[in-house]
């Protein structure tokens, strides 16, 4: 963390401010107070500018981070004038608003500092706040003096330790290797200010045999509190209250559940289960976190020769490389022995950003609204942790990594590099130039070893380095004939290689095949129903790991839709009278069918438009590479039956798993990699489908489950 001045977020939750002056929704004066508060906020909010100043003392053990946060003098002047003119209500309200913003700003600063240290697997201690803990009041004076000197600030502290401007706080954190406090900022439970209106609530996170504590201020959205503290949970709609997936066990929570929650949460669980994005923190909570289930590892179509571990040491001169694929849903990392050109281990984990929404747009919006680098820090930390785990598991000793190659969709790479992704979400979807240069590991990771990092470049905002990597993995440049690459993941990208062109396009397929927007959907983890068949009107299910079924993943969703159409529970238009249960309370709902229709229509229309652009028909295609983790496990016949892939070329389909990961691994093995990637980049053309009338027409045509014909 560098010393510096930070502009901080304005938390102006007016409901919470009203509550802090004891005005509740049930209060008689609530309507008039609310309207006064809204007017005051509109008039004066521009005067409140929360700023944080940070100094890092590396000479102390542990390292000490000094902070000074202020909302400035202007609002104080207004508050004083209100008091002087006997306008007590307004004075009180503005005072409470300024307090709220000041405390919210300290939270934001905490988030910035803790995110920075998280990458190095270091954690912040509790907040040492003079007067509220064992810290002498004189420390406050020391911090103010240091800040004055360093930043030439016009601030003062009296002998009674009153800071001017008054709406300011001076405190410090210590840096620790242990995540013992798990992100406690100011610890209200240890604070003597019992009547403080900014009092925070304790949220105890129980996980297997451990318990961590985080805090939320009154009025904060519970999902946001969990996000801020890097707690990973399913939140595909990013907190928009539409997916109903942010279900958490909060023991004896005491909340009154909304109608939607009552409908979604089985009666027997209602006492202990809530949906995180529905609740504003206003009480202490005990939350039980589930241990993440193991994910299937798809390693791509390259034959990864998994050997039994043997001990490697860097003294042998053996060097290793790391291939990484950052998917919107999952992150996959392969450790490869560069001498033997073998993959020694592969890991796959949930992308920690999933708590901020299932799709890239939700994440871009979160970053925009919160001006946050948290998502970037979390992915960098995940990649390094997975790499370290692979090194330890394979008993590799010493400074052994020589190179890392990363591929991913454009948004994921923007987030990795902390590039502002705002423009990716709005037309004309401009991208910045990615210098095709090596990074040093120290520029991205807090890693002990030093190695070079290569990031595969993107073609456009929605055809990313993962597709470049897939084209490379499938040796497109060496092949003759007409070849399609279809990557069905959270988005659907298609590429068509002919003898002299590579045309690419992205379709807004949505995350249906990743099961994010499917009611009982879940990732391909233990317990997910992954295959469905029908025996005399009864579903026969298969689950991953042969476990008790807990949801349904993408491959089985395709089976279900095909079977329900064959048995006429779904008609050609996609109409389904009512939900059909597949197992106990795990079912397929009419709205799930719509999501699948949208996704498969987008992919198939994209394929058709590429063929049209190249002057080809489906019968001209020699190979269709079906890429993407989910693509490895689907039933090709059912996929063709529902119209996800063209029926005419079933025998030409090659399922190639995670081609993006396979491409980054191939890059590590081959001398000529850079040249070949550059050839792919030079050859790739991008076709924008969002403005194509042809795409729109075909998209609508392909919605149906009837006879799917490629228009010729
Ligand atoms: S309903 Fe809570 S995250 Fe979607």
Answer yes or no: is pLDDT of 310 > 60: no
Determine the distance separating the centroid of ligand 1 and the alpha carbon of 227, expressed in angstroms: 13
Answer yes or no: is pLDDT of 309 > 50: no
pLDDT recorded at residue 305: 37
**Tokens 């004055």 identify what position?**
148
The residue whose CB lies within 8 Å of the most ligand 1 atoms, and thus the one to mutate among 243, 365, 366, is 243
Mean pLDDT over 74-87 rounds to 91
Answer yes or no: is pLDDT of 192 > 80: no
Mean pLDDT over 292-305 rounds to 52
pLDDT recorded at residue 363: 93
Right CATH for 1-186 from 3.40.109.40, 1.10.10.10, 3.40.50.150, 3.30.70.260: 3.40.109.40
pLDDT recorded at residue 712: 39
Identify the three-state secondary structure at position 284: coil
Q: Which atom of ligand 1 is nearest to the CA of 244?
A: 1
Mean pLDDT over 642-657 rounds to 88
- pLDDT category at 468 given cuts 50, 70, 90 is very high
Answer yes or no: is pLDDT of 377 > 50: yes
- What share of the chain has pLDDT > 90, as a percent? 49
Instruction: Please state the φ and ψ torsions of residue 231, each to the nearest 5 degrees.
Output: -85, 120
Q: What mean pLDDT value characterizes the chain?
A: 86
Determine the distance separating the centroid of ligand 1 and the alpha carbon of 239, expressed in angstroms: 4
pLDDT 10s digits, 109-124: 988 888 888 777 788 8
Measured CA to CA in angstroms, residue 422 lies from 415, 431, 457, 572 at distances of: 11, 10, 18, 39
Mean pLDDT over 323-337 rounds to 93
Identify the three-state secondary structure at position 44: helix
More confident residue, 317 or 619: 619
Q: Which atom of ligand 1 is nearest to the CA of 275?
A: 2
SS (H, E, C) 52-120: EEEEEECCCCCCEEEEEEECCCHHHHHHHHHHHCCCHHHHHHHHHHHHHHHHHHHHHHHHHHHHHHHCC
Measured CA to CA in angstroms, residue 10 lies from 18, 229, 442, 664 at distances of: 16, 19, 33, 42
Mean pLDDT over 564-580 rounds to 92
Buried b (16+ CB within 10 A) or exposed e, 403-422: bbbbbbbbbbbbbbbebebe
Answer yes or no: is pLDDT of 636 > 50: yes
**Tokens 């691994």 identify what position?**
665
pLDDT 10s digits, 585-612: 899 999 999 999 999 999 999 999 999 9
Determine the distance separating the centroid of ligand 1 and the alpha carbon of 373, expressed in angstroms: 22
| Tokens, residue 60 | 């102390």
Rounded to an integer, what distance in angstroms lies between the CA atom of residue 91 and that of residue 79?
5
pLDDT 10s digits, 221-274: 999 889 888 888 889 888 889 888 899 999 999 999 998 889 888 888 999 999
Mean pLDDT over 678-685 rounds to 94
Number of H-type helices and E-type strands within the chain: 18, 31
Domains of the chain, residue spans: 1-186, 199-291, 312-474
HSE (side-chain half, CA atoms, 13 Å) at 397: 6
**Tokens 């405190």 identify what position?**
171
Cβ neighbors of 275 (< 8 A, separation 6 or more) are 241, 244, 246, 247, 248, 260, 261, 264, 265
The residue whose CB lies within 8 Å of the most ligand 1 atoms, and thus the one to mutate among 221, 235, 591, is 235
User: Picking from 148-157, 177-186, 675-684, which range would have the lowest pLDDT averaged per residue?
Assistant: 177-186
Answer yes or no: is pLDDT of 303 > 50: no
User: Picking from 317-321, 358-362, 508-512, 624-628, which range would have the lowest pLDDT averaged per residue?
Assistant: 508-512
Mean pLDDT over 517-545 rounds to 88
- What share of the chain has pLDDT > 70, as a percent? 92
Determine the distance separating the centroid of ligand 1 and the alpha carbon of 237, expressed in angstroms: 5
Q: Give the single-character DSSP code of 520.
A: T
Mean pLDDT over 208-227 rounds to 84
**Burial class, 478, CB count within 10 angstroms (exposed 0-12 / middle 13-18 / buried 19+):** exposed
Contact between 580 and 565 under an 8 Å Cβ cutoff? The reply is no
List, chain by chain if needed, residues with CB within 6 Å of any ligand 1 atom: 235-237, 239-246, 275, 277
Q: Model-level pTM greater than 0.85?
A: no
Rounded to an integer, what distance in angstroms lies between the CA atom of residue 528 and that of residue 173?
43
Identify the three-state secondary structure at position 604: helix
- Among 415, 377, 418, which Cα is nearest to 118's? 377
Contact between 391 and 385 under an 8 Å Cβ cutoff? The reply is no
- Per mean pLDDT, which of 314-328, 473-487, 625-639 is the most reliable? 473-487
**Tokens 């990208």 identify what position?**
493
Longest dimension (CA), the chain: 86
The residue whose CB lies within 8 Å of the most ligand 1 atoms, and thus the one to mutate among 234, 274, 275, 279, is 275
For domain 199-291, give the fold. Ubiquitin-like (UB roll) (3.10.20)
For residue 540, the surrounding DSSP H or E stretch is strand 538-543
For residue 410, the surrounding DSSP H or E stretch is helix 410-416
Cβ neighbors of 631 (< 8 A, separation 6 or more) are 486, 487, 488, 655, 656, 657
CATH number attached to the domain at 312-474: 3.30.420.480
């Amino acid at each position: 963390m560098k010393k510096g001045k930070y502009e901080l977020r304005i938390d102006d939750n007016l409901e919470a401010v009203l509550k802090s002056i004891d005005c509740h929704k049930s209060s008689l004066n609530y309507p008039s107070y609310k309207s006064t508060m809204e007017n005051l906020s509109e008039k004066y909010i521009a005067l409140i500018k929360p700023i944080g100043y940070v100094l890092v003392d590396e000479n102390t053990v542990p390292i000490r981070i000094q902070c000074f946060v202020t909302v400035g003098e202007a609002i104080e002047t207004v508050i004083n004038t209100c008091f002087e003119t006997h306008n007590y209500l307004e004075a009180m309200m503005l005072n409470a608003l300024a307090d709220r913003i000041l405390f919210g700003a300290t939270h934001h600063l905490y988030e910035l500092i803790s995110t920075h240290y998280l990458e190095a697997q270091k954690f912040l201690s509790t907040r040492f706040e003079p007067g509220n803990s064992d810290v002498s009041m004189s420390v406050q004076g020391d911090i103010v003096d240091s800040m004055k000197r360093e930043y030439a600030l016009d601030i003062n502290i009296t002998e009674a330790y009153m800071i001017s401007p008054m709406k300011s706080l001076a405190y410090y954190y210590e840096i620790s290797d242990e995540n013992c406090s798990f992100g406690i900022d100011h610890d209200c439970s240890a604070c003597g200010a019992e009547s403080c209106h900014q009092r925070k609530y304790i949220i105890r996170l129980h996980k297997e045999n451990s318990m961590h504590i985080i805090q939320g201020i009154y009025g904060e959205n519970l999902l946001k509190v969990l996000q801020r503290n890097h707690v990973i949970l399913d939140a595909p709609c990013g907190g928009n209250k539409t997916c109903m997936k942010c279900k958490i066990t909060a023991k004896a929570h005491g909340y009154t559940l909304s109608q939607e929650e009552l409908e979604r949460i089985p009666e027997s669980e209602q006492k202990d289960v809530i949906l995180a994005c529905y609740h504003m923190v206003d009480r202490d909570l005990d939350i039980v976190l589930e241990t993440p289930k193991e994910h299937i590892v798809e390693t791509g179509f390259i034959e990864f020769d998994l050997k039994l571990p043997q001990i490697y040491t860097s003294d042998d001169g053996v060097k290793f490389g790391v291939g990484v694929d950052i998917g919107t849903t999952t992150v996959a990392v392969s450790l490869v022995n560069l001498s033997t050109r073998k993959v020694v281990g592969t890991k796959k984990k949930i992308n920690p950003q999933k708590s901020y929404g299932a799709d890239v747009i939700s994440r871009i919006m979160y970053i925009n609204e919160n001006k946050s680098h948290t998502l970037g820090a979390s992915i960098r930390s995940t990649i390094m942790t997975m790499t370290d785990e692979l090194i330890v598991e394979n008993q590799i000793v010493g400074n052994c990594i020589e190179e890392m190659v990363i591929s991913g969709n454009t948004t994921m790479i923007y987030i990795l590099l902390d590039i502002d992704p705002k423009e990716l979400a709005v037309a004309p979807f401009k991208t910045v130039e990615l210098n095709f240069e090596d990074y040093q590991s120290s520029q991205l990771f807090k890693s002990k070893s030093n190695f070079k990092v290569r990031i595969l470049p993107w073609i456009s905002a929605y055809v990313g380095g993962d597709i470049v990597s897939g084209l490379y993995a499938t040796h497109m440049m060496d092949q003759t004939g007409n070849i399609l690459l279809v990557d069905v993941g959270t988005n659907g990208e298609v590429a068509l290689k002919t003898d002299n062109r590579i045309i690419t396009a992205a379709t807004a397929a949505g995350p249906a095949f990743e099961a994010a927007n499917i009611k009982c959907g879940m990732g391909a983890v233990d317990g997910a129903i992954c295959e469905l068949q029908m025996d005399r009107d009864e579903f026969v299910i298969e689950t991953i790991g042969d476990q008790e079924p807990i949801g349904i993943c993408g491959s089985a969703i395709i089976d279900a839709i095909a079977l329900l159409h064959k048995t006429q529970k779904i008609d050609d238009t996609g109409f389904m009278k009512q939900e059909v249960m597949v197992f106990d309370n795990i079912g397929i709902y009419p709205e799930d069918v719509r999501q699948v229709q949208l996704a498969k229509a987008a992919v198939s229309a994209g394929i058709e438009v590429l063929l049209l652009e190249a002057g080809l028909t489906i019968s001209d295609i020699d190979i269709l590479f079906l890429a993407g983790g989910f693509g490895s496990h689907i039933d090709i016949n059912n996929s063709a039956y529902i119209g996800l892939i063209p029926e005419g070329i079933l025998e030409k389909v090659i399922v190639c798993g995670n081609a993006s990961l396979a491409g980054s691994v191939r890059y590590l093995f081959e001398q000529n990699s850079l040249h070949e990637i550059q050839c792919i980049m030079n050859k790739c053309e991008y076709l924008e489908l969002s403005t194509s009338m042809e795409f729109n027409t075909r998209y609508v045509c392909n919605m149906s489950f009837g006879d799917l014909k490629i228009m010729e």
